Structure formats: C-alpha cells, structure tokens
Amino acid sequence: MPEDGRYSTPVAAELADDVLDRFLRYVRIDTQSDDDSTTYPSTAKQRDLGELLARELAELGLEDAAIDEHGYVFATLPGARGPTIGLIAHVDTSPDESGAEVQPQVVHYSGGDIQLPGNTRSVLRPSESVLLAEKVGHDIITSDGTTLLGADDKAGVAEIMAAVAYLAKHPEVEHATVRVGFTVDEEVGRGVDHFDIAAFGADFAYTFDGAEIGRIDDETFSASEVRVRVEGHSVHPGTSKGKMVNSVKLAAALVERLPKDTLSPETTEEREGFVHPHRIVGTAAEATVTFICRDFDLTKLREYEQLLRDLAAAIEREEPRARLTVEVEDSYRNMKEFLDARPRILEAADEATRRIGLEPTRSAIRGGTDGAVLSERGLLTPNIYTGGQEYHSVLEWVSVQDMAVSAATAVELAKLWAEPEWAQT
C-alpha cells in the first residue's frame, strides 16, 4: 500500500499528479456543445481540445494518433496479447451552464461547506452533495462557481490519458492493445453519429463517463425526443378578436396537462421514468415544444410517447383551427439489453475495480452515454466511474484522489485483458 492512505494502490498514487495536471489543463479549454447547431461537431472549439489530445498522444509514442474530420481523436497503444479494448470519453461539456473561462480551484478538504470564490450564492454543501462528506482529506476541484467545471467528461479524458501515459512509460507492464477514442457532442445526443466502429477496431470498449468510484454502469434509460409543433394563426393583436389562435398558449396548455406529481424529473427517482419538457420556442403563429422521454422499460417509453400524442390530439379537438404535429425520434436504448450477451466484459470491470482496492457495484444510469448507442450498434461498451459529482451545474466537483483511482482502474483493465485467463475469453 502507498504511504498516502488516500490512494488505494501505488499505481493510483503514482498517477495522481499527472491526472491532476492534465485535468486542470483540459478544463480551461471551452468545449461546450450546441444543441441548435447543424454542424459536426456542433462547435468548432471542441476541436481545440481534440487537437491537443492528438498531439499529446503522439508525444507518448502512439504513432497513429490523429483527429479526424468529425472531431474524433483515435490512437492505438499496442499490447502483448488478448483482445483489443477501447477506452472512450467525450470532450464536450453541457450547454446547461457556461463552459467558458473556467477557473478551477483545488481545495484540500477538511470538512464543512466549500464557498466557491466567484459567486457568493455558489456553496458546495455536504448536506446537499452527500458524497462530499466522505472526502475529508481529499483534494477537491471545483470551478469558481460561475461556470461548469467540466468534469463531465474531462475527468474521463484526463484519466484515460494518464493511464495511457503510465502504460507507455512502463513497457515492462504487459497489457492488451488499447484503442483510445475521444468523441464530441455527447451532451447534445450526437456523440457517436459518425463513429466508425469497424475502423475503431476494438472488440469491446469502456466509456469513462460515470460518477461515484466503484460504481459500474451496466444499464441506461431508453430514450426518445418528442417534438410537438403547434401551428396557430397570428393576427395583429389590435384586431384579433375571434381570429387569433395563439400557438404559445396552446403549447403552454399542452405542458400544463402533464401529470403534476409523477412522470417528471423533479418527481421521480431510481427506476421511474419521465416525460420532460425541456425546450419551448415560437411565436403566436407557431411554436414547438421539445420533450425528452426516458424509461428503463422500452414498453413504458412507448406509452409516454403515446401520452404526448393523445394530449396533442385533445388540444387539436378543442381548438380545431390549430394543427399539432408530433414527431418522435429514438435517441438510445437501454444498454443492458445488449451487454447481457457478453457478461465477461462487465466481470472484467468488476475485477479491475477489486484490484484497485474497491468493492464494485453495478448501477443503472438515469441518463445515457455514448456507450448506450455503441452497444446497440454492436460495440459493447459499459460505463466506468470517473469520480465526478454534481454534473451539469456550477457546483460540479471531483476529487483528485478519486480521479487517480479511476485512472488506475483503466490501467488494471488493460493489464487484466492480457492475462491468459482473460485473453482467451
């Protein structure tokens, strides 16, 4: 065991400085994606980090490291034997809060609240972020409270990079061939739209895009996006009596008819699904409400979509001068449907977690990952912990020690799959 008890293995202790240095460097690069963009990636600035990563991978000796036309970064770390495993993370950050001019701070945590320096209203409290209370003695990274930190998913990016750097630095450590993949636009649901699985060449993969250390995600929501377009009739408000059909009001009526005490993110937990109106745009003449529907059970997901069709039809019957059009687009499927076919992939993640001193747990994500889409398309890809917490908010935080443990898990995965017991499965 290392001298510093905050690290579960000597490898984790060795990785800590590198993963911290990389993370602080990466979060200062604005990579926020844009849901309204029609380009790919949705923002050109995502390529800024991608180009840096490609250079750093090449400097580590990964000769094929490159960024492609879509903004993906791919590279190969050749190994001794066994399958080729993929390690994947996404470079973009959420549009929910600003990702520009991130000012990270590192706080040696001794307990209690952490006041973020840029905003007096931004206070990280263990009473609200309950895992923080377990991190006394850790080095906690936050933003200044005015932006995202970017741990989702630059923690995963830094951890994979640190793990690859460790393996490149220690050629005496036998490991399987590793394919590194950094994607774009995950936060806007388009992360692997152009991901060429055959060209990537991995037998299976792991996304490093989870949260609490020790927790391996083997299940996601199944998800769809439902867009309800409301077409009314606009007339000058001074002469509109009996003529105007206000699309904004009809859109509001549609949202108002959703269940009040259930089927929403703010009223559900664990395995309960929801119908979430997350965007409304328009005018009196025309408006669009965009919903995201989620459930672990595909049958229930279809029921939620039908609920929105029924509500739209009811409003149309009540106001026959309006037209409501419902469009449904599948986003991703519950990856458990696919992962169950090859249990050894998850068993290896469990074993790697034990080897770095944690007892693994399996969990279901109330969300999705690039791995959900890749698993459906044939590249089975469960999700590994990164240590990040309070994602998509200005209170986002991560422990340096937890990132080091996650990076050590990536190292153990690469080593494990080269061992005879695992290499033949």
Question: pLDDT digits over 217-268, tens only?
Answer: 999 999 999 999 999 999 999 999 999 999 999 999 999 999 999 999 999 9
**Selected residue with higher pLDDT from 189 and 42:** 42
Mean of pLDDT values over 316-326: 97
Task: Give tens-digit pLDDT for 161-179.
Answer: 999 999 999 999 999 999 9
Which strand (E) or helix (H) includes residue 326? strand 323-332
Instruction: Give the pairing type, strands 204-208 and 383-384.
Output: parallel
User: What torsion, rounded to 10 degrees, do the Cα atoms 231, 232, 237, 240 define?
Assistant: 160
Q: Residue 1 — very low, low, confident or very high, per pLDDT cuts 50/70/90?
A: very low
Mean pLDDT of all residues in the chain? 96
Is the pLDDT confidence value at 153 over 50? yes
Q: Rounded to whole angstroms, how far apart are CA atoms 107 and 120?
A: 17
Residue 390 is a catalytic residue: no
Tokens of 351: 């074993």
Widest Cα–Cα separation across the chain: 82
Main-chain phi, psi angles of 342, to 5 degrees: -135, 75
The answer to whether the beta carbons of residues 95 and 34 sit under 8 Å apart is: yes
The question of whether 186 is a catalytic residue gets the answer yes
User: Looking at the DSSP assignment, which residues form a beta bridge with residue 27?
Assistant: none
Over residues 21-41, the pLDDT tens digits come to: 999 999 999 999 998 899 999
pTM of structure:
0.91
φ, ψ of residue 149 to 5 degrees: the values are -80, -45
Mean pLDDT of 52-56: 98
Alpha-carbon distance of 358 to 408, in angstroms, equals 11
Share of the chain above pLDDT 70, in %: 99
The first and second tokens of residue 96, run together, are 């929910």
Place of tokens 């991608």: 50
Distance CA(202)–CA(196), nearest Å, equals 11
Query: What is the average per-residue pLDDT within 3-12?
Result: 81
Give per-residue pLDDT as tens, 188-207: 999 999 999 999 999 999 99
**CA pseudo-torsion sign 411, 412, 415, 416:** negative
- The confidence band for 3, taking pLDDT boundaries of 50, 70 and 90, is low
The CA radius of gyration of the chain, in Å to the nearest whole number, is 23
Q: Give the separation between CA 141 and CA 151, rounded to whole angstroms.
A: 9
* Helix/strand/coil percent split, the chain, to 5: 35, 25, 45
pLDDT above 90 covers what percent of the chain?
96
Residue 424 confidence (pLDDT) = 81
Closest CA to 329 of 220, 193, 224, 191: 224
91-110 per-position pLDDT tens digit: 999 999 999 999 999 999 99
pLDDT at position 2, please? 42
Helix residue ranges per DSSP H, 28-116: 46-59
User: Of 250-254, 368-372, 379-383, 410-414, which gets the smallest average pLDDT?
Assistant: 368-372
User: Distance between CA 23 and CA 388 in Å, rounded?
Assistant: 12
- Among candidate residues 56, 186, 187, 217, the one labeled active-site is 186
E strand intervals along 267-322: 274-282, 286-295
**Phi-psi region for residue 324, left (φ > 0), alpha (ψ -120 to 50) or beta?**
beta
The pLDDT value recorded for residue 55 is: 98
pLDDT, tens digit (0-9, with 9 covering 90-100), for 334-374 = 999 999 999 999 999 999 999 999 999 999 999 889 999 99
Helix axes 46-59, 151-169, angle to 10 degrees: 10
Count other Cβ atoms within 10 Å, centred on residue 156. Answer: 32
Is residue 68 scored above 60 in pLDDT? yes
Which residue among 18, 30, 92, 139 is the active-site one? 92
Q: How confident is the model at residue 57 (pLDDT cuts 50, 70, 90)?
A: very high
User: H or E element: which one contains 305?
Assistant: helix 298-318
The C-alpha atoms of residue 30 and residue 366 are separated, in whole angstroms, by 26
- List the structure tokens of 219: 């299940």
d(CA 121, CA 59): 42
304-314 pLDDT, tens digit per residue, is: 999 999 999 99
